[in-house]
Structure 1
Amino acid sequence: MSQKVLITAKVHEYLIDQLKAKGMTVLYEPSITYDGVMQVIRECTGMIVTTRIRVDRAMLDAAANLSWIGRLGSGMELIDVAYAESRGIRCVSSPEGNMDTVGEQAVGMLIMLWHNLLKSSFELREHIWERDGNRAIELGGKTVGIIGYGHTGGAFARKLRGFGMNVLAYDKYKTGFGNEYVRESSLEEILQEADVVSFHLPLTEETRYMGNRDLFRAFRKPPVVINTSRGKVVRTADVIASLEAGEVSGACLDVLENEKLETFSQVEKDEFQYLLRHPRVVVTPHIAGYSHEASIKMAQVVLDKLGL
C-alpha cells in the first residue's frame, strides 16, 4: 500500500517530485482548512506543514497512521510536538533552509531604514526631491544586539560582516558561540551598547512579548527594533508608544501579532496604519524566510532529516 503524504501549504515542486519518486502518494492541498485536514489525516503517513494549520491533539488523535510531520521553516509553536512524539510521530523543522534569506532581509530592512530608501522613494512618487531630510545613517561603527542566537541569529551576524559593525549576541540557552564577527554578550551589555536590537526567537511562553516597552526603555540609546521571528515576540502597541516617546528610534517588522488583515479589530487597523505611515518604520508581509532558494533548501533539509 502506497504511503500518503498530505502537504498543507504551497511548496516548491521539487518536494512533490522527490516524494513521488520515493513511491509516495502526494495529497497536495495548499489551501486546505483545519476541517479539511481532519477529513483526510487518518489515511496519511506523513504531513508537510508551514504556519497555516495548527496541529493539535484532536488532529493527532485522528491521525491513526501518521508517522512524521515535516515543518518547512523554523518554529514549532503550531504543532503539539510533545504529544505527537508521545504517539511515536517524528517532528522535524528546517530553519537551516531559510536562515540565509532571513539574515539578508534583516540587513536589508536596516539599510532601507537608515538610508531612507523607502521614505525617499515614496516621496519621489509625489514629486518631492528631498536630500537633506533623507541624509543616511551609516552602519559602520554602530552596534547590533542579537537576541536569540540560533540559525537565523547566526545568519544575521554573518551577513553583517563587511559593514564594520559591532555585533553582540545573547542567548539564554547557548554559550561558547563567540567568534571573530560576533561577541557573546549578556542582555545587560546589549541594553548598554546596542544601537539596534534584533529578535531571533521561537515563540514560547517565555519569549511572548519579550519585546515590550519596559525592555525598550531599558536601552541606554533608543534602538532600532528588528523582528523577523514571530509577531507575538514584540508587542505592537509598545513599539508605537516607544516610537512616540522617543524610546525607540525606528522599527523593521517582517512579522505582526495578527497577520490576517481581514480579521483586524479597529485598534489593530489603527496600529497598522500608524506603522505604514511612520517615516522610521519598515513593514513587510512575513517574507523574510520566503525566497525562491529557501523553498528548495527547506524541502531538502526536511527530507534529509527524515531520511527520505
Structure 2
Amino acid sequence: MNNSTTSYPKEKINILLLENISDKAAEVFTNNGYTNVKRLSGALSEDELVKAIKDVHLIGIRSKTRITERVLDAAKKLQAVGCFCIGVNQVDLKAATKHGVAVFNAPYSNTRSVAELVIGAAIMLIRRIPDKNKAAHEGIWLKEAKGSFELRGKTIGIVGYGNIGSQLSVMAESLGMKVIFYDVETKMPLGNAVDQKSLKDLVSQADIISLHVPENVTTNHLINKNILKRVKKGTIIINYARGGVIDLDALRKAIEEGQVGGAAVDVFPVEPEKNGDRFESPLQGLSNVLLTPHIGGSTEEAQQNIGEDVSNKMFHFLEKGITNGSHTVPVLSLPPQEGAHRILHIHNNVPGVLGEINTTLSKNNINIVGQYLKTNDEIGYVVLDVDKKLSAHANQLLKDVKETIKVRLLY
C-alpha cells in the first residue's frame, strides 16, 4: 500500500514524544512523511497533559508520565499511546479501552540490559565493592578478602520468571550459579533452574534475591519485614522491577542489623520528575548498597530497540489498522485490500453492533469487500474494506451506529 493513499494529510497528524524518547522513535515517523513530531525531554503533569494533548493523535511516554482518565477525556483526537518501556501501569488501561485508544509497549526490548545490570550488581555487592570504592575515594586502602565471595556456586533466587527473570536465569547459570525461581504462574524452567512453591521457600535458600515482578496490589511490599526475617543471613537483594515491591524502611533495618548483606535498588516508590531534582530514600548512606536512578533498561541499544519497536507498532496502527501488541484495542493483523478503502470502527462490545453495521451499509448499497472483527470483554474492533467510491458515505453512516466509540477512515 502506497503511503500517499492515506486519507488524512500527514502534516495534520500531531505526534508528541515525552521523556527524552530515542531519536529512532521520531525517525520512524519523520522518515515516513510525518512532520509534526514534537519532542520534550521531561514528563508532563496531569494538568499540563490535559492542555497539551487536545490535538494530539499519537503520544509517546516512558515511566514518569501518567495517562489518566482525565487526560484521556481531554484527548479528543488521540488514537494511540506508546509506552517506551516494559510496563503499561502508568496508563489507565480501562479508560483507554473505553475511549478506543490503543496502548502499546515494548515488553522485550530492554530485557538484556536489565539482566546484565543485575549480574553486574550481584558481583559488585558480593565482593563488597561499594564500600571499597567509597574508602578508596576517601583515601583509605581496604585490601582484604574477608566478606568477599565469588558468584560461582551461589544460589540466586529469581522472583518473577518472565522475560527478564528467565534471561537472568540463563546468564546466572552460565556463571556457575544455582538458579531457583518463584512465579505466581506456572513457568517452564530453563536449563537447571528449579521452581519453588512459595516466596518463603525461595528466600530461605537464596544467597542473592532478584525481583522481576509487575507493580500491583499483590506485589506491593512483597518484600516486607516478615519476609526479610526469613532470608539467609547476609543475603543480597536486588530490585530492578518496580518501586513499591520492597518496604524500604524494613529493608534498611534488615541491612543495619546485618540480616541482609547488601542491596541494589534502581526503582523507588517516589522518583524525581527530571534530572537534577532532589532524590531521597531510606537506603541512602548504608553500607554495601547501590542506588541507581531507574536506569536498568537505559542503554543506548535498549533505547534504540524500544524506540523502533513501539514507534513501528504505533505507525502500523495509524496507517494500516494493525493492533499487534495492543493492551486495549483487540489485536488484529491484516493485509491491505486492493481496490478498496479501509474504515476502522471501535465500539462497545454488546450484541447486535456488527449486524447494525452490515444492515446500515447494505441499505445504502455499499458493498463490503472485506471485513474483520475482534473483541475483548469491553470493546469490539471492526476493520471494513469498502467500495472506494462510497467510502466517505460509509464512514459517515458508521459514526451513527449505536455503541460506536470511534470511527476512522484509514485510506
What corresponds to 1:103 in structure 2? 115
Measure, in 1, the Cα distance between the counterparts of 2:192 and 2:50: 48
Deviation at 1:191, TM superposition (A): 2.8
The letter for the 1-side match of 2:297 is G
Aligned partners of 2:125 and 2:236 also within 8 Å:
no
What corresponds to 2:256 in structure 1? 244
Cα deviation, 1:114-144, whole Å, max 9, x if unaligned, reads 1222322222222322222665211111111
Inter-CA distance 263–123: structure 2 relative to 1 (3 Å threshold): closer
Aligned partners of 1:115 and 1:134 also within 8 Å:
no
Aligned residues: 300
What corresponds to 1:254 in structure 2? 266
SS in 2 for 1:286: coil
What corresponds to 1:9 in structure 2? 19
TM-score, normalization by structure 1: 0.90
Residue 70, structure 1, aligned to residue 70, structure 2: no
Q: Which has the higher strand share?
A: 2
What corresponds to 1:116 in structure 2? 128
What corresponds to 2:306 in structure 1? 298
Identity across matched positions, percent: 26
Measure, in 2, the Cα distance between the counterparts of 1:21 and 1:262: 35
TM-score, normalization by structure 2: 0.69
Larger mean CA deviation between 101-110 and 17-26 belongs to 17-26
Q: Which has the higher helix share?
A: 1
Aligned partners of 2:233 and 2:258 also within 8 Å:
no
The structure 1 residue matched to 2:39, chosen from 12, 25, 28, is: 28
Aligned partners of 1:148 and 1:169 also within 8 Å:
yes
Structure 1 stretches lacking a partner, 5+ long: none
SS in 1 for 2:33: coil
Deviation at 1:224, TM superposition (A): 1.1
Inter-CA distance 31–281: structure 2 relative to 1 (3 Å threshold): closer
Cα deviation, 1:91-135, whole Å, max 9, x if unaligned, reads 111131111111111111111111222322222222322222665
After the TM superposition, which parts of structure 1 deviate over 6 Å for at least 4 consecutive aligned residues?
A: none
Deviation at 1:23, TM superposition (A): 2.7
What corresponds to 1:19 in structure 2? 29
Measure, in 2, the Cα distance between the counterparts of 1:70 and 1:294: 16
Task: Report matched runs for 1:30-179 at 5 Å.
Answer: 30-31=41-42, 33-34=44-45, 35-132=47-144, 136-173=148-185, 175-179=186-190
Measure, in 2, the Cα distance between the counterparts of 1:84 and 1:181: 41
Cα deviation, 1:244-293, whole Å, max 9, x if unaligned, reads 233322211112222228566xxx56x2xxx3432221111111110011
Aligned partners of 2:109 and 2:306 also within 8 Å:
yes
What is the root-mean-square deviation in Å for CA atoms of aligned residues? 2.0
Deviation at 1:222, TM superposition (A): 4.5
